[in-house]
Amino acid sequence: MIRLLALALLLLPSAAFAHPGHDESGLVAGLSHPLTGIDHIAVMIAVGLWAALKGGRALWVWPAAFVGVMLVGGALGMTGVALPFVEPGILASVVVLGLLVALAVDLPVWLGAAIVGLFALFHGHAHGAEVPEAASGLAYMAGFAVATAVLHGVGIAVALSLKSARWQPLVRVAGAACALVGVGLAINVI
């Protein structure tokens, strides 16, 4: 739990830059963007939860696949390359990744990486399409990559801290909550 609080404290300094003129680089805008939507937060934490449930190489492969492909999607979004079904893909990611955690679906590492990578493309495109006009694209991308990695780390830390058989069902409950958030967003009740 202390690690989670430390991660949250790392992100607090960005609040001091909330006023215009402080972040010429776009780094803070990139850091804050993934934290402004419950869909992004839920998916990024779910990737960490699912990776921790799987364990082994998935602990680093799935988050790395998400961040890497998200950066590709971000570049596509920044350059104006159209990607169909971005919003439905994001909503599907919240439901599907939540269900994968809730049901503790055990897939091969390569297949899990492909799934999170597909969804990361949509999230990255959305991030890239929303880059602030005055921001440096590279700094913005670095910011949202770091914020995403931190959220993956939160999911991993939570799942690993609940590793004992007594608390493990809470990880699956968190996955179910993620899926419900996705359904709520899809039907406009959230």
Q: What are 127-175's pLDDT values in tens digits?
A: 999 888 878 889 999 999 999 999 999 999 999 999 887 888 999 999 9
For 107-139, the pLDDT digits (tens) are 999 999 999 999 999 999 999 998 888 788 899
Whole-number pLDDT of residue 166: 84
Res. 23: pLDDT tops 80: no
Nearest to 78 by CA among 24, 119, 148, 139: 139
Q: What pLDDT, on a 0 to 100 scale, did the predictor assign at position 188?
A: 92
pLDDT band of residue 10 (cuts 50, 70, 90) is very low
Question: What is the pLDDT, as a whole number, of residue 176?
Answer: 98
Say what the pLDDT of residue 17 is. Answer: 37
What SS3 class is residue 55?
Answer: coil
- Looking at residue 135, what is its pLDDT? 81
- Provide the 10 A C-beta neighbour count for residue 156: 23
pLDDT of residue 20: 42
Report whether pLDDT(101) > 50. Answer: yes
pLDDT at 136: 86
Domain ranges of the chain: 37-186
Highest-confidence segment of 22-36, 59-73, 136-150: 59-73
**DSSP secondary structure letters along 94-141:** HHHHHHHHHTT----HHHHHHHHHHHHHHHHHHHHHT--TTS-HHHHH
HSE, side-chain direction, 13 A CA sphere, residue 68 = 10
